[in-house]
Amino acid sequence: MQKQHSSRKRAVTMRDVAKMANVSQSTVSRVLSGAEESIPIGEETKQRVMEAVKSLGYYPNLYAGSLRGQKTFMIAMMVADIANPFYHPMVRAVQDVAHSHRYDVMIANTDHTRDGEMHFIESVIRRPVDGLILVPYHLTQVDIERCIARTGVAVAALGQHVTHPQVDTVFGNDERAVLEAITWLIQARSHKRIGFIGVTDNFSVGVRRRSAFVEAMRQAELPLPPEMFEYGDWSSESGERAMRSFLSLPQPPTAVFAVNDLMAIGAMEAVQKAGLCTPQDVAMIGFDDIPPATWVRPRLTTVAQHPAEMGHIMAKALFERIQGDYSGPGRRFEAPCRFVIRESA
């Protein structure tokens, strides 16, 4: 028992299999990779090899294969925050599609930061993968271009943030959905002072949803005082903070729209902690329709997206590129948004 520290043990290799089956290592390779179509292998030899594989419990080392210029059988997925339930069905869908292609998925989260996203890109340059699923907030076309140019990787992305000639994207028409929701708030519920909880402007989604909000208010010819705009970091805690700011105003909003459900839920907490009621005192609308939206009381009125479908579409498009079934310009898939009226507004 020498001190081995953390050095890995020698695994079962193809050569071991070859030795046991009394064939050369290349024959083993051919049997396993199913190259028998082009290069014939004797039936009896094949049997011997398969037996040896089974009795040794051999598994190919995928690093070696990928080094030689083959596929890595791995895709990487970059999401902002796996703690946000919105991404769960998406991750799940991607994993399902990947597994059906015998691929593994490596997930990284970026905490909504540019550093996190850059780290991800570097990471897939050092450890190449066959495909990338991105949910980018800060990455620019240049960053993605660099990554594609260096690794030739296939890419699919969520959102309208990036437009790259070789990247397929899936996006919801969130502008229209926001417009619909706010207009409904004004017309059907006759709100006039509506607060907006967004995120900082380096998120293009935030900018877009605020524009839609502003547009709806403009159309109704309602004022847009600056104190009706608060900004958070997508988390429920930040939504709570934002709502507290609203409530400390001499004239708080009578309704609030938050750009995601987590912040809306946090805002509702703040309302209740202040001894007020939703929707009587402050109506609330969120975005995403995550499961907790139906757990809170009152149930959250929100804009439903279809993350599972979005994930599925991205993954499917990605594998079409990986397998060379498609290699044309970046496609754009629109996924529907649906305004869901519950109890909070």
Partner DNA sequence: CGAATTACCGCATACGATTTCACAACAGGA
Partner DNA sequence: TCCTGTTGTGAAATCGTATGCGGTAATTCG
Residues that bind DNA (CB under 7 A): 10-11, 13-15, 22-27, 29-30, 32-33, 35, 39-46, 58, 60-61, 64-65, 67-70
* Residue 170 found at the interface with a second copy (CB under 8 A): no
Residue 180 has, within 13 A of its CA and on its CB side, a CA count of: 16
Nearer to a second copy, 193 or 289 (CB): 289
- Residue 61 or 187: the one with the smaller Cβ distance to DNA is 61
Backbone angles phi, psi at 335, to 5 degrees: -105, 140
Task: Give the integer Cα–Cα distance in Å for 154 and 283.
Answer: 44
The whole-angstrom separation of Cα 23 and Cα 48 is 9
Count CA atoms closer than 13 A to 59's CA, side-chain side: 5
Complete DSSP assignment for 144-205: HHHHHHHH--EEEEESSS---TTEEEEEE-HHHHHHHHHHHHHHTT----EEEEEE-TTSHH
Q: Strand, coil or helix: what is 107?
A: strand
- Judged by CB under 8 A, the chain residues 14 through 73 that form the site for a second copy are 57, 59-64, 66-67, 69, 71-72
Residue 126 in contact with a second copy, rule: CB under 8 A: yes
Q: Which amino acid is at 6?
A: S
Contact region with a second copy (CB under 8 A), list: 177-185, 251-259, 279-287, 295-303: 295-303
- To the nearest whole angstrom, how small is the minimum distance from the Cβ of residue 77 to DNA? 24
User: Which amino acid is present at 318?
Assistant: L
Q: At CA 255, angle to CA 249 and CA 261, rounded to 5?
A: 110
Nearer to DNA, 8 or 226 (CB): 8
Q: What single-letter amino acid sits at 324?
A: G
Beta strand 131-134 with 229-232 is unpaired
CB 183 → a second copy: shortest distance, Å?
Answer: 28
Contact predicate 181/213, CB 8 Å: no
Which CB, 62 or 214, lies closer to DNA? 62
Q: Which stretch binds a second copy (CB under 8 A): 149-157, 164-172, 210-218, 331-339?
A: 149-157
How, if at all, do strands 154-158 and 167-172 pair?
A: parallel
Find out whether 196 and 231 touch, Cβ atoms under 8 Å.
Answer: no
Q: Does 276 bind a second copy (CB under 8 A)?
A: no
At its nearest, how many Å lie between DNA and the CB of residue 140?
25
Binding mask 212-231 for a second copy (x = CB under 8 A): --------------------
Task: Kindly state whether residue 297 participates in binding a second copy, applying the rule CB under 8 A.
Answer: yes
Smallest separation (angstroms) from DNA to the CB of 109: 26
- State how beta strands 283-288 and 332-335 pair: unpaired
* Residue 216 touches which member of a second copy, DNA, none, C-beta under 5-8 Å by kind: none
95 binds, among a second copy, DNA, none (CB under 5 to 8 A by kind): a second copy
CB 316 to DNA: min, Å: 25
Residues in contact with a second copy by CB under 8 A are 3-9, 11-12, 57, 59-64, 66-67, 69, 71-72, 74, 82-83, 85, 88-89, 91-92, 95, 104-109, 122-123, 125-128, 130, 149-154, 236, 265, 269, 291-292, 294-297, 321-324, 327
